[in-house]
Amino acid sequence: MIKEISKKILLICLSLSSYAWADLTLDQKRSRDQGLALYQQSDWYESQNPLKNAAIAGDQESQYYLGEALRLSNRFMTAEAAKWYIAAAKQGNLYAMLRLSNTQDLCTFLTDCAHDTTEWREKLIEQGREQAEQGDTSAMIALYMAGQGLDWLEKAANSNDHYAQYLLAELYSDGNGWFLTPGKREETIKELLKASAEGGYPPSMLSYIRYFSEEGNHAEVRKWIIKAAQSGHIDAVYSYAAHSAQLPESFGFEKDYIKGYGLFYLLSELNGGGIAPEYAKQKIAELNSIVSPDQIKKAIEFANTWKSTHPPLSYFVPVYGF
């Protein structure tokens, strides 16, 4: 009886809170965008304050990612992280519900941040199915991640969700799923990566490159590296910089020390996680013995122009990752 009453209260809160805090001020939107950009650069620490500004204003996306940043920076879910996951979940964020339904997290056993994992899982599945049946591919992906079957991810991919296509291709590559012939598996993986890459998802662009590399089609390799770099993918920007500076020389990229140095300079300014900034600094040290002071000045100008005319650098961290 108590559990049923509690469940009803939870449903009422969810229905009411979804209408709250619908709008952000311009400053709050800027703060959210800054926080999300830093988060995607794996800067779990510096992203917290700007995300918090928008989270306090009720932005459920910021609430979820603030929870993620707190969890990742502490290496487990804390009471503070749980608070923001709950705030996002009450506004219908399925991935926040997914985090709250994790029975393996240390937070589950701590009295200061314990929450009812069963209730959140039930709500996740109930609301997720409702949204998925209406064609919401994000809900389909959440249901797959909640252990409701690979067919949900396949439905999302078939509905042209580019992240779902990428994730499904990765799972098929790891041997998941069933195919009548081995050739059909590889054919399907290539089709999924092609659809996802052409749909604009940068991680798929980088994975799709391997087919052209194996064929020796360097023009297509160059095309996809540049496209992924222009979309902000950090690994692609590093690759574009290295090939432009011919460190190493491959795939027929035109030598351009200014572009190569400039892109390395852009990467070297990152303060988040990953190895790209340190590798970029090493490459800059190599180029310092090759390029002139005037070229370095032009390269930094190139970097500043790129930064102002392209999306923020990003690792494209999945919405529900590690």
Q: Residue 279's domain spans which residues? A: 233-317
Q: Residue 172: which CATH number?
A: 1.25.40
Which of 207, 231, 255 is a domain's end point? 231
Which of 211, 231, 251 is a domain's end point? 231
Residues of the chain with pLDDT under 50: 1-22
Residues 96 and 165 in one domain: no
Residues 75 and 200 in one domain: no
What is the Cα Rg of the chain in Å? 22
Short-list 222, 310, 217, 221, CA closest to 263: 310
Q: For residues 225 and 236, is the Cβ–Cβ distance under 8 A?
A: yes
| Residue 306 within a domain | yes
Q: With b meaning 16 or more CB within 10 Å and e meaning fewer, what string describes 283-314?
A: bbeebeeebeeeebebbeebbeebeeeeeebb
- How many domains in the chain? 3
Residues 114 and 185 in one domain: no
Q: Is the dihedral of CA 52, 57, 58, 62 positive or negative?
A: negative
Q: For residues 264 and 245, is the Cβ–Cβ distance under 8 A?
A: yes
Residues 182 and 172 in one domain: yes
| Residue 248 within a domain | yes
Residues 18 and 127 in one domain: yes
Which pLDDT does position 264 carry in this prediction? 98
Short-list 188, 123, 125, CA closest to 157: 188
| Residue 154 within a domain | no
Q: For residues 28 and 52, is the Cβ–Cβ distance under 8 A?
A: no
| Residue 155 within a domain | no
Q: For residues 202 and 233, is the Cβ–Cβ distance under 8 A?
A: yes
Residues 7 and 143 in one domain: yes
| Residue 111 within a domain | yes
In the chain the beta strands, taken as DSSP E runs, fall at none
Which pLDDT does position 18 carry in this prediction? 37
Residues 168 and 67 in one domain: no
Report d(CA 240, CA 263) in Å as an integer.
8
pLDDT digits (tens, 9 = 90+) for 219-237: 999 999 999 999 999 999 9
Report d(CA 53, CA 306) in Å as an integer.
28
Residues 215 and 240 in one domain: no
In angstroms, the Cα distances linking 302 to 229, 246, 253 are 14, 18, 18
Which of 231, 251, 268 is a domain's end point? 231
Residues 124 and 226 in one domain: no
Which pLDDT does position 20 carry in this prediction? 41
Residues 177 and 199 in one domain: yes
| Residue 242 within a domain | yes
Residues 18 and 40 in one domain: yes
Residues 223 and 243 in one domain: no
Return the residue matching tokens 């089709």.
Answer: 191
What does the angle CA 57 – CA 201 – CA 199 come to, to the nearest 5 degrees?
Answer: 115
How crowded is the C-beta side of 284, counted as CA atoms within 13 Å? 20
Q: For residues 300 and 265, is the Cβ–Cβ distance under 8 A?
A: yes
| Residue 269 within a domain | yes
Which pLDDT does position 322 carry in this prediction? 76
| Residue 322 within a domain | no
Return the residue matching tokens 């023009």.
Answer: 219
Which pLDDT does position 21 carry in this prediction? 44
Which pLDDT does position 113 carry in this prediction? 59
